[in-house]
Amino acid sequence: MPGVGGGARIEKNDYPGAAMLDAKDWLKIGAAKFKSADYEGAIKDYNQALLLDPQSASAHCQRGNAFARLRVAQRALEDYNHAIRLDADSAEAHFNRADMRSRMGSTSGALEDYAWVVRLRPSDACARGKLGNAFYRLGQHQEALESYDEALRLDPAYAEVYSNRGLARHKLGDQVGAAADFAAAARWFAEKGDFALHKQAQGNLDKVLRLVG
């Protein structure tokens, strides 16, 4: 597994004209390998970028993404931490660290990062929705509801957020509102062809309707 802090240097004939490549070139090569799912190869290229430019927040962030795809969570987290130390306004690094923190069980840490993202990118509906999810998991259902409201203002066709807002409304005792959200979620999931989630939303709708009577 390629190391976090550097890695093997360029081998002779690995790339024609390798000695002429700069950090941005290695980032592009790494990005191409990442796109083709060669994550270990991408990490080696990001290592080369960091040898040439150790202060590249982008290289740390992209290498973190590759480690994340390989499920090497701690190394991914370390790279995201380093990227944010170098560039505190990197929305991508905050967003990806939030996802990683969530996967590692740190919901409060994820919430902190998603909050950063929505400050940096106020029109990011996905980040607003994920911020709502973090609030919900922490039992802060009113705050979750407000985040979901904003996400749906930005993207009125966001099926997952309708479903999650329905759960928040259910927890807050608003069964009529929850039913409306589950119905909207079921409709949008059906339109998108996601029939498993359509069935789940329809099941939640049926349960709430029984509560409403």
Which residue range is the domain that position 30 belongs to? 1-88
Per-residue pLDDT of the chain (213 residues; tens, 9 = 90+): 444 444 444 443 356 566 789 999 999 999 999 999 999 999 999 999 999 999 999 999 999 999 999 999 999 999 999 999 999 999 999 999 999 999 999 999 999 999 999 999 999 999 999 999 999 999 999 999 999 999 999 999 999 999 999 999 999 999 999 999 999 999 999 999 999 999 999 999 999 999 987
Domain count for the chain, please give it.
Answer: 1
Assigned domain for 48 exists: yes
Do 56 and 32 form a contact (C-beta atoms < 8 A)? no
Do 201 and 175 form a contact (C-beta atoms < 8 A)? no
| CA angle, 86 then 92 then 93, to 5° | 45
Alpha helices in 53-194 (DSSP H): 57-69, 73-86, 91-103, 107-120, 125-137, 141-154, 159-171, 175-192
Using alpha carbons, list the distances in angstroms from residue 155 to 44, 160, 177: 38, 11, 18
- The SS3 of residue 162 is helix
Using alpha carbons, list the distances in angstroms from residue 188 to 159, 164, 169, 193: 5, 13, 19, 9
pLDDT value at residue 16: 59
Which CATH number do you get for residue 54?
1.25.40.10
Assigned domain for 28 exists: yes
From CA 153, how far away is CA 199, in angstroms rounded?
Answer: 25
pLDDT value at residue 3: 46
Do 63 and 46 form a contact (C-beta atoms < 8 A)? yes
Assigned domain for 124 exists: no
Assigned domain for 155 exists: no
Terminal C-alpha separation, the chain: 58
Which two tokens mark 87?
């560039």
Assigned domain for 19 exists: yes
Assigned domain for 81 exists: yes
pLDDT value at residue 213: 74
Which two tokens mark 11?
């081998």
Assigned domain for 37 exists: yes
Assigned domain for 10 exists: yes
